[in-house]
Amino acid sequence: MQDLTSPAGAFKAVYSTTLLIWSIILIAALIAEGQSKLADEVSPALAYVLWIGAIGWLTMVEGGQGSLVGLAPVHYNFYKATHPKSYLVTKVCHEGDNLDRYLMGRQLMVVFIVFTVNISAGPLEGAEIWGLPEWVIDMFLGSGLAMILMTAMVGQLNSQVNASLCMLDYINNSFALFTFWVAMAIEFSGLLHSSYLIAIIVSMLAGKPIETKEEPRTTTQSIFFWARVLVSLAILVFCFYVTIFALFEGKTTLWDGVNTGAALVIFFFLVSIVGMLEGMQIAFFAVAKLKEDERGDGVWAKKTCNLLFKGNGSNLPGFMIGRQLMVVSCMFFVARVTSVVAPEDNEDNMLGVSDSMQKLFETGLLGALIVTIVGSIAWQLVASAFPIAFLSTPITYILLSGCLFLEFIGICSGAWVLAAIHRNIAGFQRDEVYIGTAEDRALKNMEDKETLHGALTKLPGFAESAPKQLKKLIESDPAVAEYVKDYMETSLRSMQEAAEKGEAAGAP
């Protein structure tokens, strides 16, 4: 957590909070004067509702992710009585592969919410406020800085800070439950199922089977699954076609004066940057626990790891903060490049589609799908399969340096102040108040799932923590490896059955 009591920390917090307040005032005034896309085309009132509602929902989407991922090892019986809504969410989320499904649906929610914020509060070309100097307008509105600071600090970093410490309190409400089911519904709809095809291809290239906690699909389930994959693939191709067509026809909210070729280059460049940043966090965490000599032999892999893990390792969380700001920045620019504009009075709808389809184009959903699948999930899958290769490029080092610079200047330090205010108003308490630490639970024979159920510890994970001599024997003798695997699987089944009996009997 950032030290706000030091002179440097206090200075960063003050100037960052001041920038945040100024940004919110500018955006509110922009909407009031009808100079955002939605305020101009519909009404400022609707723009306000969507802007505030989208940012509010984003706080739960981001905080909910941190809470649900962080609570995965903790058995829900430990907090069933104290946090009934948290219990309802986690009981479903942590069953089988539901956490992965939720994370996929949630990914589209984040992108779509950012696109919604851009439509409702993004400035029109040539917007003016209160006669402010042009350089002020260009700095905060034209560049998107005000939108980026507001979205990153209010909607994302603030909630991530609180959810990392107060997971149980953060999702103990109906809003969190609703958000979870919306994410699950998005995944079930099949819109993102082409991501599973990418996962299968990547796993084949890497020679690694896709891990699952569920039984193999039945014939009916397989037909339903692959049907959604094909539909998702067709929708993705259609999204690309419409977006590129709109760019060539000048039918997006891209800045005036940018030619078609440049617009196309900007689009693919920004999507690639988002993908790199999404993949980098996966690759960095994948190598964080490796020995230094296992992190790659390439020059750029070594330079990247030396920068990332130098000193006390504070550059890794520093990267996450800077990365958040950079990803949001890219998403706002992508939203501007891909958002389709309404036709003029004397023009037909784009591609001759119906009015309802034209309105769908204008929502930004098509661009959101492209960014989610091609600019996010696909890169995460590649990075998880080939983390060392992902580190071995100069682009990774450059982006890491840029993220660390953004964190160093403290432009998002206001998020810590906002998080403290939010935490006090909501009355959040740290999770240890309710369930103790993992060590406390172990002392009371209330072990977490990693010990009790083993759901998060995958074979041969047990062998990895075995004594050195046993490791060597496992590696040299396949029969021993198979015996250890069978033994641990049998033990896990026994513990699972015992846990389920305890749960049925009302165990705490």
> What CA dihedral angle connects 38, 121, 279 and 412, to 10 degrees?
-170
How far apart are the C-alpha atoms of 345 and 361, rounded to whole Å? 17
Residue with tokens 């080939």: 386
Q: Which two tokens mark 241?
A: 């076609």
* Neighbour-count burial for 292-314, b at 16+ CB within 10 Å, e otherwise: eeebbeeebbbbbbeebbeeeee
Assess whether pLDDT exceeds 80 at residue 485.
no
Amino acid at 52: I
Question: In the chain, what percentage of residues exceed pLDDT 70?
Answer: 82
How far apart are the C-alpha atoms of 430 and 162, rounded to whole Å? 9
Residue with tokens 């090892």: 73
> What CA dihedral angle connects 113, 381, 74 and 62, to 10 degrees?
-20
Q: Tell me the torsion sign for CA atoms 196, 202, 207, 213.
A: negative
How far apart are the C-alpha atoms of 431 and 438, rounded to whole Å? 11
Assess whether pLDDT exceeds 50 at residue 465.
no
| pLDDT for the residue numbered 475 | 55
DSSP-based three-state secondary structure for 252: strand
Instruction: Place 452 in a pLDDT band, splitting at 50, 70 and 90.
Output: very low
Quickly list H helices, 167-218: 167-170, 174-189, 194-206
Instruction: Place 176 in a pLDDT band, splitting at 50, 70 and 90.
Output: very high
Instruction: Place 10 in a pLDDT band, splitting at 50, 70 and 90.
Output: confident
| pLDDT for the residue numbered 225 | 94
Assess whether pLDDT exceeds 60 at residue 458.
no
| Range in 103-107, 227-231, 458-462 the model is least confident about | 458-462
* Neighbour-count burial for 242-278, b at 16+ CB within 10 Å, e otherwise: bbbebbeeebbbbeeeeeeeebeebbeebbebbbbbb
Instruction: Place 210 in a pLDDT band, splitting at 50, 70 and 90.
Output: confident
Q: Which residue has the higher pLDDT, 423 or 342?
A: 423
3-state secondary structure 225-274: HHHHHHHHHHHHHHHHHHHHHHHHHCCECCCCCCCHHHHHHHHHHHHHHH
Assess whether pLDDT exceeds 60 at residue 480.
no
Mean of the pLDDT values across residues 245-253? 80
Mean of the pLDDT values across residues 468-494? 54
- pLDDT one-digit tens code per residue, 432-441: 888 777 666 6
| Range in 79-93, 119-133, 243-257 the model is least confident about | 243-257
Mean of the pLDDT values across residues 446-471? 43
Compute the mean pLDDT over every residue in the chain, rounded to the nearest whole number.
80
How far apart are the C-alpha atoms of 106 and 187, rounded to whole Å? 8
**Taking the model in full, what pTM does it have?**
0.76
* Backbone angles phi and psi of 340, in degrees to 5: -80, 140
Q: Which two tokens mark 331?
A: 């998403």
Q: Give which of 177, 203, 149 is closest to 21, Cα–Cα.
A: 149
Q: Which two tokens mark 253?
A: 């909210």
Q: Which residue has the higher pLDDT, 280 or 491?
A: 280
How far apart are the C-alpha atoms of 373 and 329, rounded to whole Å? 18
Mean of the pLDDT values across residues 95-107? 88
Q: Specify whether the CB–CB gap between 143 and 122 falls below 8 A.
A: no
